[in-house]
Amino acid sequence: MLEQLKQEVFEANIELMRRKVVIYTWGNVSGIDREKGLMVIKPSGIDYDRMSARDMVVIDIRTGEKVDGKWRPSSDTATHIELYRKYPQIGGITHTHSVNAVAFAQAGRDIPALGTTHADYFYGPIPCTRSLTKEEVEKGYEKNTGKVIIETLEERGIEPLAVPGIVVRNHGPFTWGRDAAASVYHAVVMDTVAEMTMKTLLLNPSAEMPQYILDKHYYRKHGKNAYYGQK
């Protein structure tokens, strides 16, 4: 079932390890087949070096039930489901505990847009959510993590593909994209941008970037007048 998507999601999970944004089993990537309404996700607690495409788990996002695979799915499955249900434009989701993005999550701070590296991929600050309440943690924690991500994007009027990631307060980054590989790419970029931003703020706590530089860099890569790269 969904052999090609399983292969893509497996490779996306391996790419996370290869880019050194995860150690042990600290991350998960999923991808979705929108026509079938089925999500493929990493199994829970399986080491990357023992994992193969056959170990991926298939979940029906309408029911939340497993429909294929021998392992239990990632413990963050319910978060992925919430985001797929809400945003039909998303085709892949990645969660990590990468050090630099987690530092912003733990500090409870947005990752401000201070330079063109950030602006090439994220159109504005990468938001930090509020903390989950005690009730939200005790009942339906993973689902509520998805809900607080959606709440934050909606409050700020963010189109998810324009800012393809967020940090969940006290926890860490979630990123997304048109497919699983794009969500991993954004996870790797976000962590590097977070490291650059942290160092920038050490040197100059009031550093900022004018809006027109943000606009220039974002729109030369995205949108109908984009001209970056090859035709």
Active site residues per annotation: 120, 228
Please name the helix (run of DSSP H) or strand (run of DSSP E) that holds residue 59, with its range, or none: strand 57-60
Closest listed residue to residue 80, CA positions, set 45, 32, 115, 128: 32
For 77-97, the DSSP string reads: HHHHHHHHHH-TT--EEEEE-
Which of these, 40, 6, 25, 192, lies nearest to 117 by C-alpha position?
192
Q: How is residue 225 annotated by DSSP?
A: T
**Taken in order 138, 140, 146, 149, is the CA torsion positive or negative?**
negative
